[in-house]
């Protein structure tokens, strides 16, 4: 019980001291004591408030830049690679099947174009900076598997006249794409996709599409983590909000005190120190826009993984004048780019690293001005004067 009473007394005393420094009463206070309290409280509030606010804004802005410049392009490229590989497989099976034209015209331009596009997309993901070291190594394995896959398609083309060898090599190439066999009901599809079991989320993916789907899933999870309000950002926002509100009120009360007691109509240094506070609402709006854009990007990323299809991509090539399909990779990629580009105030680019230095400069201005006023007051004070 004594320990509890002692702890309560300590908390009450700390609260009293904090309130004294953060919100001292003007009435009944000596000029010297009030200026001494303000000399400690206001610079401290400026440093804490702008430090926490600048860190929170920079964290949100950094997440936005990472999602816009790295995660989003990687998700688009992975979806493009996956769709291109399915299209290439479908073209190979169609031309190498019974009655196909591979012996006369080869595998066709679309097959070659799609294999090249898949390879290019995978290389762009590797260079994009969105992956960890382990994920980059896994993607290099995928690229090597794609090379091996095209080799098996080439063998099947070489044995186009032998149905047994041709079908066996095509089947093996198909198994390199999907670890789960295609159901019989879907084998007549021009571009049969992998069964859903291939995207089971297990860590033992072996086929090309399994590995690509696993990378997509991890990138989408990373996007969701970036879009969520982190505990550190929320804590910094609360701390900075309280500190900056107390700073604004404290500056206003100090200016009023100087006007009444010292007949100083306007303290230029204190007014200049208050100027960074005018940027706080604009920077807050920018952070909220960035957070909203990241949240809105989540459904588009899911659509890239689950709503795109080889048939949609092929239809966009074969019927370019029918209008863009809303679930095409290119359309979803543009929507994702537009959403993330709208999630910021462009004129604030490069401003966030200056928030904390502005707070430190403001704290120095406040401390210098109040120290000067206090020193001048002590020099001119005489016995009998108000002190």
pLDDT tens digits for 52-79?
A: 999 999 999 999 999 999 999 999 999 9
Q: What is the mean pLDDT of the chain?
A: 84
Residue 179 lies in a domain: yes
pLDDT-derived band at 31 (thresholds 50, 70, 90) equals confident
User: Given a cut of 90, is residue 106 above it in pLDDT?
Assistant: no
Tokens 């200049």 belong to which residue?
272
Residue 111 lies in a domain: yes
State the residue range of the domain holding 360. Answer: 29-380
Q: What is the pLDDT, as a whole number, of residue 235?
A: 95
Residue 150 lies in a domain: yes
Spatial separation of the C-alpha atoms in residues 249 and 256, rounded to whole Å: 11
- The tens digit of pLDDT for each residue in 316-349 reads 777 766 667 888 999 999 999 999 998 888 888 8
Weakest mean pLDDT among 97-111, 138-152, 153-167, 371-385:
371-385
Q: Which has more confidence, 219 or 381?
A: 219
Q: Phi and psi dihedrals of 273, rounded to 5? A: -65, -25
Q: Decide: helix, strand or coil at residue 387.
A: coil
Q: What is the pLDDT, as a whole number, of residue 199?
A: 42
Q: What is the pLDDT, as a whole number, of residue 29?
A: 57
pLDDT-derived band at 288 (thresholds 50, 70, 90) equals very high
Spatial separation of the C-alpha atoms in residues 207 and 71, rounded to whole Å: 23
Residue 371 lies in a domain: yes
Residue 239 lies in a domain: yes
Q: What is the mean pLDDT of residues 173-189?
A: 70
Q: What is the pLDDT, as a whole number, of residue 320?
A: 67
Q: Which helix (H) or strand (E) holds 126?
A: helix 109-128
pLDDT-derived band at 109 (thresholds 50, 70, 90) equals confident
Q: Which has more confidence, 311 or 198?
A: 311
Residue 385 lies in a domain: no
Q: What percent of the chain has pLDDT over 70?
A: 81
pLDDT-derived band at 386 (thresholds 50, 70, 90) equals very low
Instruction: Please report, to the nearest 10 degrees, the dihedral formed by the alpha carbons of residues 69, 75, 76, 82 taken in order.
Output: 150
Distances (CA, A) of 212 to 18, 126, 141, 310: 55, 12, 11, 15
User: Given a cut of 50, is residue 198 above it in pLDDT?
Assistant: no
Q: What is the mean pLDDT of residues 148-177?
A: 88
User: Given a cut of 60, is residue 202 above it in pLDDT?
Assistant: no
- Beta-carbon neighbour count of residue 66 at 10 Å? 17
Q: What is the pLDDT, as a whole number, of residue 105?
A: 60
Residue 107 lies in a domain: yes
Spatial separation of the C-alpha atoms in residues 145 and 137, rounded to whole Å: 12
Q: Which has more confidence, 258 or 77?
A: 77
User: Given a cut of 50, is residue 82 above it in pLDDT?
Assistant: yes
96 within 8 A of 321, measured Cβ to Cβ: no
pLDDT-derived band at 39 (thresholds 50, 70, 90) equals confident
User: Given a cut of 50, is residue 200 above it in pLDDT?
Assistant: no
**Structure tokens of 100?**
């196909």
150 within 8 A of 112, measured Cβ to Cβ: no
C-alpha angle 58-67-177 in degrees, rounded to nearest 5 = 155
Q: What is the mean pLDDT of residues 42-54?
A: 95
pLDDT-derived band at 48 (thresholds 50, 70, 90) equals very high
Q: What is the pLDDT, as a whole number, of residue 1?
A: 67
Tell me how many domains the chain contains.
1
- The tens digit of pLDDT for each residue in 124-148 reads 999 999 999 999 999 999 999 999 9
Spatial separation of the C-alpha atoms in residues 222 and 210, rounded to whole Å: 18
User: Given a cut of 70, is residue 376 above it in pLDDT?
Assistant: no
Residue 307 lies in a domain: yes
């Amino acid at each position: 019980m004594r320990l509890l009473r002692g702890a309560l007394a300590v908390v009450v005393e700390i609260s009293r001291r904090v309130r004294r420094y953060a919100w001292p009463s003007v009435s009944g206070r000596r000029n010297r004591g009030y200026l001494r309290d303000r000399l400690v409280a206001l610079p401290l509030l400026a440093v804490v408030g702008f430090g926490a606010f600048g860190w929170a804004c920079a964290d949100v802005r950094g997440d936005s830049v990472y999602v816009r410049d790295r995660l989003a392009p990687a998700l688009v490229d992975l979806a493009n690679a996956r769709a291109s590989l399915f299209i290439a497989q479908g073209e190979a099976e169609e031309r190498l099947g019974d009655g196909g034209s591979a012996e006369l015209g080869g595998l066709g331009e679309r097959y070659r174009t799609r294999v090249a596009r898949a390879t290019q997309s995978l290389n762009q993901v590797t260079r994009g900076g969105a992956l960890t070291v382990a994920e980059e190594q896994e993607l290099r394995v995928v690229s090597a598997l794609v090379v091996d896959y095209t080799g098996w398609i080439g063998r099947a083309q070489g044995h186009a006249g032998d149905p047994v060898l041709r079908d066996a090599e095509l089947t093996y190439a198909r198994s390199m794409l999907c670890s789960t066999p295609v159901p019989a009901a879907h084998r007549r599809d021009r571009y049969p996709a992998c069964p859903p079991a291939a995207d089971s989320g297990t860590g033992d993916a072996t086929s090309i599409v399994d590995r690509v789907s696993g990378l997509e899933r991890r990138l989408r999870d990373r996007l969701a983590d970036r879009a969520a309000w982190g505990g550190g950002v929320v804590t910094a926002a609360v701390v900075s909000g309280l500190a900056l509100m107390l700073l604004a009120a404290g500056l206003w009360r100090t200016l009023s005190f100087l006007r009444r007691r010292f007949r100083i109509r306007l303290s230029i240094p204190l007014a200049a120190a208050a100027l960074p506070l005018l940027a706080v609402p604009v920077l807050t709006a920018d952070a909220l826009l960035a957070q909203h854009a990241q949240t809105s990007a989540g459904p588009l990323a899911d659509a890239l993984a689950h709503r795109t299809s080889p048939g949609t991509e092929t239809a966009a090539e074969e019927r370019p004048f029918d209008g863009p399909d809303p679930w095409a990779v290119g359309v979803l990629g543009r929507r994702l780019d537009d959403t993330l580009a709208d999630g910021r105030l462009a004129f604030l680019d490069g401003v966030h690293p200056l928030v904390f230095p502005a707070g430190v400069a403001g704290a120095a201005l406040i401390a210098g001005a109040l120290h000067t006023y206090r020193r001048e007051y002590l020099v001119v004070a005489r016995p009998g004067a108000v002190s």
